[in-house]
Amino acid sequence: MSKQDDFISEFLDSETVNALSEFVSNDSEFNKPADVIATAFGSDKNFSSKNNEEISKLVSSFKHNLTLLIQKTWVEKSDIALKDELLYKLDKFLKEENSSWKENYQLFREIINQAVFLMFGQSTDAPEFAEYTLRIDPEFGIFWWYISSLPATITWSEDKCRIAMMLGMYFLSNY
């Protein structure tokens, strides 16, 4: 168990902590751990089995809520261009009908990282950032623990990418 996992276990039960590790590392059995993670974000236990209509509503809610959050976030003059770029990326995210989740995975990570940077004004790569978020807002800290545990590059299936991104979108849609 890493130092970050030791710290997160002050906020989450061991089943959820283990579920993230299992989700990230297991390419065939990821729905059950995803459902455990989803319950930590306040979802029901059948998160991974959402139908197309529910997924479409989730994507729409995510884009709407994150757009509002970005627009309402006060930034330094030097970050206005970043804010505009982020709104452009968010608009572009999963917009094309034939766009795949796997193709959008990297864009999703960029959007989340830039949005969190704008919100907190700190480098999300700093080792102390995860602990900082847990201390100031445990719910958001748990979300950040999840996001920072996702790999930068993936060889995952389309379905696993969809579930991974939906988990992050679910949290931010309800934050």
pLDDT digits 0-9 by tens, 110-138: 999 999 989 887 678 787 888 889 999 99
Least confident of 12-16, 118-122, 143-147: 118-122
16 pLDDT above the threshold of 50: yes
- Asked if 82 and 75 touch (Cβ cutoff 8 Å), the reply is yes
Q: What per-residue confidence (pLDDT) applies to 1?
A: 44
pLDDT digits 0-9 by tens, 33-84: 999 999 999 998 899 999 999 999 999 999 999 999 999 988 888 889 999 9
5 pLDDT above the threshold of 70: no
d(CA 65, CA 70): 9
Mean of per-residue pLDDT scores for the chain:
90
d(CA 35, CA 40): 9
99 pLDDT above the threshold of 90: no
How does DSSP classify residue 150?
A: S
Angle ∠(167,169,172) on CA atoms, nearest 5 = 115
- Closest C-alpha to 83, from 68, 103, 105: 68
- Asked if 174 and 41 touch (Cβ cutoff 8 Å), the reply is yes
Where is 20: in which H helix or E strand? helix 14-25
- Asked if 7 and 134 touch (Cβ cutoff 8 Å), the reply is yes
d(CA 98, CA 102): 12
Assessment of whether the complete model's pTM goes beyond 0.95: no
